[in-house]
Amino acid sequence: MNSPTVFIVDDDTAVRESLCDLVQAIGLNVETHAGAQEFLDAYDPARPGCLVVDVRMPGMSGLALQEQLAARGVRIPLIMITGHADVPMAVRTMERGAFDFLEKPFRAQVLLDQIQRAIQRDQQIRQQERRRAQIAGRMALLTPRERAVLDRVLEGRANKVIAAQLGISKRTVEVHRAQVMHKLEVDSLAELMQQVLFFRGLPPVPPARPSGFVRLGENHNSGT
């Protein structure tokens, strides 16, 4: 169940089924839904893949779905498609973190390329989250003292200074430091910094370069 799935949500049956046909033609798994609510009810965030959604649907719109997913902390990449030329709408969805915004009719290649990229992005995100979870797990093993030492090490303090600050012996600092390295499973200071900074300061997933929504009606090959 870990191969990526392309989730297609569109109320127009013909469009939905044809998109399904298209995506399956490049060997990807597809799951279709006629409405946003139906998708939400069925979706398990553990499943990798990406989401292709029509912006305007009866009931919950694509935009509302985007909000719902954000509220639940679900970060599946979202490709919005629309049959209306709707620049303000496009801008809004992109600002809220959509992966891309495409206008019908689009060149099939464009959509497929973006789907591939979205899937990659999704895997990237998941990887990062797994990594973070892993680090979190390790960090949880640290005692409060060890954490205090870690913070000061990252600030660049010498062991002597740390000892003075914490009111413990230099030797104790060295012991704590070794423990931190051991628990966090890193071999060097560089690695340590990398890991912790990654854990703490990871920026949100940056949006991919938008491929088609501003150039209305133009078909193009998108590079990277």
Partner 1 sequence: MTRAQLAQKVRALDARVLELERAEVERRQHEETLREKAATLRAVIDCSLNPVITIGFDGTVQLASYSVERVFGWKPEEVVGQNVRMLMPEPYHSQHNEALANYRRTGQTTILGRTREFEGLRKNGTVFPCEITVWRVDLPGKDAPLFTGVIVDISERKRAEVALRAGEERYRTLFEDSRDAIYIVTREYVHPAERDRFQQEIEQDGSVRDYEVKLRKKDETAMDCLLTSTLRRAEDGTILGYQGVIRDVTERQQARERLRRHEAELAHVLRLSTVGEMASGLAHELNQPLSAVSNHAEAWMRRLRSGAGTSEELLAALEQISQQAVRAGEIIRHLRDFVRKGEPRRSTVGVDEIVHEVVALVSSEAQQKQITLRLELAPGMPAVAADRIQIEQVLLNLVRNAFEAMTELEAGTRALTIRTSTAAEELVEVAVADTGRGLNPETIDHVFEPYFTTKAGGLGMGLSISRAIVEAHGGRLWATPNPDRGVTFRFTLAQ
What residues line the site for partner 1 (CB under 8 A)?
A: 12, 14-15, 17-19, 21-26, 56-58, 83-85, 104-106, 108-109
Query: Cis link prior to 105 (omega < 30° from 0)?
Result: yes
Closest to partner 1 by CB, 57 or 119: 57
Output the DSSP codes for 159-199: HHHHHHHHTS-HHHHHHHHHHHHHHTT-SSHHHHHHHHHHH
| Residue 174: how many other CB atoms lie within 10 Å | 14
Q: How far is the CB of 52 from partner 1 (least distance, A)?
A: 11
Strands 49-54 and 5-9: parallel
Closest to partner 1 by CB, 90 or 135: 90
Closest to partner 1 by CB, 110 or 154: 110
First to last CA, the chain: 29
Q: How far is the CB of 116 from partner 1 (least distance, A)?
A: 13
Q: How far is the CB of 5 from partner 1 (least distance, A)?
A: 17
Q: How far is the CB of 28 from partner 1 (least distance, A)?
A: 11
Coil, strand or helix at 55: coil
Closest to partner 1 by CB, 25 or 178: 25
Closest to partner 1 by CB, 116 or 172: 116
- Which helix (DSSP H) or strand (DSSP E) does residue 81 occupy? strand 78-82
Q: How far is the CB of 18 from partner 1 (least distance, A)?
A: 4
